[in-house]
Every structure is written in structure tokens, then in C-alpha cells.
Amino acid sequence: GDSRVYLHRGSELVQVTRDHSLQEELRAEGSADAERVSRNVITRALGSLDSRHDAWLVPIEAGMRVLICSDGLTTEVGDDDLRAVLTMTADVDAAADELVRRACAAGGRDNITVVLVEVAGGGSAPSGGFDDEDENDRTIERTRPGARA
């Protein structure tokens, strides 16, 4: 579907999931038609007959925030504003409320769901950041459900 998961640490915001929409699939293929189709055409969703899903292993560390949200938030509030609110608002409840307030103020044309969790302790993410290109510093790893190592 088009709900998203983001990781936030310090002033860094990373979108972990990708949208399963026709627009995003066309964009990934480099098609010029990507901007002409509605972003509301979903190609995969949990609960559908073909409920293939992506699974990600994401090591976390104390102080990191995990934002799970519906497209009602991300349609109205861009990544720069998400980052600003999460960076500048220390209290998670206040940050979640502010995200919903901004989405409503921007038009609120869809349902808005925000789940914001701050990791209290533990975790295993390297201090180097979110870079998953370096094989020695992987913080996000794609997995396949049911696959054997």
C-alpha cells in the first residue's frame, strides 16, 4: 500500500518502506508517465488475495524514532517538514500531534494516522548512520519471508 515507515535520528530522516503504487512503480522504471497517473492506484496491500509483502530488518538504537504513518500524512506534509517536526520537538506525543495538525492545516483530504515511537534503550545500529551501501555498515537489510539462509 502507501502507508510508510520512517526512521529518524538526530536530524536524519530515512524512508524505510516504499510505496506500492502504480505511480511509484512507473517512477522506478523511469517512465515519463509516472507523474500523469494517480498516486492512489495501489498495486499491493496487506489483506489482499495476493498479499506479498516486503520485510526489512532494521537495527535500532536508543533515541531513534520510528514513524509509521498513512498517506493522509505524507500527502499533506513533505519529508522536510516531517524531519523538522521530529528534530525540533522533543516530546513524542507533541511531535505526533504537530504532524497531524500540519496535515489537517494543509487540507487533510484523507484519513491521517500517525504512530511515533522513541526507542528507549538497546539496539544495534552502528553510529555511522543509515548508509546501507557499505557492506561493512549495513543498517537496513532486505529479507524474503520464508527464505532459508
pLDDT the model gives residue 14: 93
Q: Do 78 and 137 belong to one domain?
A: yes
Q: Is the residue at 148 inside a domain? A: no
Q: Do 67 and 97 belong to one domain?
A: yes
Flag whether pLDDT at 22 surpasses 70: no
Q: Is the residue at 126 inside a domain? A: yes
What count of other Cβ atoms lies within 10 Å of the Cβ of residue 85?
21
For residue 62, which of 127, 13, 11, 132 has the smallest C-alpha distance? 127
Q: Do 62 and 126 belong to one domain?
A: yes
pLDDT the model gives residue 84: 98
Domains: count for the chain: 2
> What is the domain range of residue 79?
4-18+58-143
pLDDT band at 59 (very low <50, low <70, confident <90, very high): confident
Q: Do 93 and 45 belong to one domain?
A: no
* Residue 45: φ, ψ to 5°: -155, 145
CA–CA separation, 145 and 86 (whole Å): 31
For the record, the C-alpha cell of 70 comes out as 498513512
Q: Do 70 and 124 belong to one domain?
A: yes
Q: Is the residue at 134 inside a domain? A: yes
Averaged pLDDT for residues 9-38: 71
For residue 54, which of 9, 116, 1, 10 has the smallest C-alpha distance? 1
pLDDT band at 80 (very low <50, low <70, confident <90, very high): very high
Q: Do 32 and 104 belong to one domain?
A: no
